[in-house]
Amino acid sequence: MSLNVLFIGGSGEISAACVQEAIACGHQVTVFNRGMRSDGLTGVNHVAGDLRQPNAYAALGSEHFDVVCQFLGFQVEDVERDIDFFAGRCGHYIFISSASCYEKPWHTGRITETVPLHNPFMAYSRNKAACEQRLHQAHTNGQLPVTIVRPSHTYCERLPSTVIDGTHLLWRLRAGKPVLLHDDGATQWTLTRSEDFARGFVQLFGLPRALGEAYHITDNVAHSWQHIFASIAQLAGTDLQTCSVPSTTLVGYIELLRGPLLGDKANSLLFDNTKIAEATGGWRCEIALNDGLAKAMTHTQQQLDAGYAPPQSLDGQIDQIIAAHTSGATQ
């Protein structure tokens, strides 16, 4: 059945793949954002708008949508605006939250959707959890039919990394420089390709049993960061030199890492995807780690070929941290 679907966002690392999947499934797709990337998509109705402006949705007029997918909601004020505007104008509102909302630290088996939403290290995660709470109220009150979806680390064009971004990581590998690993690289981390996420996500559209529910959509397999970095280095044809530093020490050097590490990547996270699999008739991830990394590396290498260079101050700081912990370096 073809549905009239609105994506708020639609050009990001996760949402672009969801747009493509929705089109492939035959849905009528409208994308609302400030300007899409050139993804070669056909059959997409693009509505330009800026959520920072008053009456941001004015360009949507009075159109009714079967499904609204909110990828750009980060504060309670954002979902309050959506409740006001889309009440009575959509049959199914899907809010993109985050698996980083789950309680941290976490050491008790696989994560299900019943794990408490409590992350004291990341304001981003706390704000997302607050959005979920407000939307649950709206659903219960009959204002808006809501489903919550929580991605974890989902990637497409960006190589996964920790401490520095994936482009900087590949640059250091290509330059023969060592890279930082938190906590000996032993953390078990779940990576999900955006195409796999999108297949599960789109199957929720208009699904009656999904109303009022929350789902995470992730791979069932986790890998150590040491293994992830080794796989990237192997695909790049470079040697891997690492320096392991405890997460708490890294946060002492770079305060901005507190949330990303202590609130996320320093925790071994494995997910139980039974709920989404049962709702969609057996969905599961299909793209193997090396295949996914190879796709991301193609895009990342293009950035290097175009002359990418990392911020000198950050790269110099990484060098200084490694020099101070050379006894932990490995070849």
Do 176 and 35 belong to one domain? Answer: no
User: How many angstroms separate the most distant Cα atoms in the chain?
Assistant: 64
Position 250 scores a pLDDT of 97
Number of H helices, E strands in the chain: 10, 13
Residue 278 in domain: no
Count of domains for the chain: 2
Do 17 and 118 belong to one domain? Answer: yes
Q: Distance (Å, rounded) from C-alpha 149 to C-alpha 74?
A: 14
Residue 291 has pLDDT above 90, yes or no: yes
Q: What is the mean pLDDT of residues 32-61?
A: 80
Q: pLDDT tens for residues 136-190?
A: 999 999 999 999 999 999 999 999 999 999 999 999 999 999 999 999 999 999 9
Question: What is the percentage of the chain residues whose pLDDT exceeds 90?
Answer: 88
Do 186 and 196 belong to one domain? Answer: no
Do 204 and 129 belong to one domain? Answer: yes
Residue 171 in domain: yes
Residue 227 in domain: yes
Position 9 scores a pLDDT of 93
Residue 199 in domain: yes
Residue 251 in domain: yes
pLDDT band at 54 (very low <50, low <70, confident <90, very high): confident
Structure tokens at 315: 């790269």
pLDDT band at 49 (very low <50, low <70, confident <90, very high): confident
pLDDT band at 43 (very low <50, low <70, confident <90, very high): confident
Do 92 and 161 belong to one domain? Answer: no
Q: Which residue has the higher pLDDT, 36 or 217?
A: 217
Do 175 and 315 belong to one domain? Answer: yes
Question: What is the percentage of the chain residues whose pLDDT exceeds 70?
Answer: 96
Residue 42 in domain: yes
Q: Distance (Å, rounded) from C-alpha 236 to C-alpha 239?
A: 9
- The predicted model scores a pTM of 0.94
Residue found under tokens 């991605």 = 151
pLDDT band at 219 (very low <50, low <70, confident <90, very high): very high
pLDDT band at 234 (very low <50, low <70, confident <90, very high): very high
Of 257, 233, 236, 231, the C-alpha closest to 321 is 257
- DSSP 8-state symbol, 176: T
Residue 276 in domain: no
User: 255 burial class (0-12, 13-18, 19+ CB within 10 angstroms)?
Assistant: exposed
Give the CATH number, domain containing residue 301: 3.90.25
Within 8 A by CB and 6+ apart from 180, the residues are 162, 163, 164, 242, 243, 244, 245, 250, 318, 321, 322
Strands across the sheet containing 222-224: 153-155, 188-193, 222-224
DSSP H/E element including 182: strand 179-182
Position 36 scores a pLDDT of 60
Position 327 scores a pLDDT of 55
Q: Is 131 helix (H, G, I), strand (E, B) or coil?
A: helix
Q: pLDDT tens for residues 100-141?
A: 999 998 877 899 999 999 999 999 999 999 999 999 999 999
Do 129 and 198 belong to one domain? Answer: yes
Do 108 and 30 belong to one domain? Answer: yes
Show the domain range for 200. 4-154+191-217
Cβ(31)–Cβ(45) below 8 Å? yes
pLDDT band at 37 (very low <50, low <70, confident <90, very high): low
Q: Distance (Å, rounded) from C-alpha 273 to C-alpha 154?
A: 15
Give the CATH number, domain containing residue 61: 3.40.50.720
Do 210 and 324 belong to one domain? Answer: no
Q: Which residue has the higher pLDDT, 200 or 109?
A: 200
Return mean pLDDT, the chain.
94
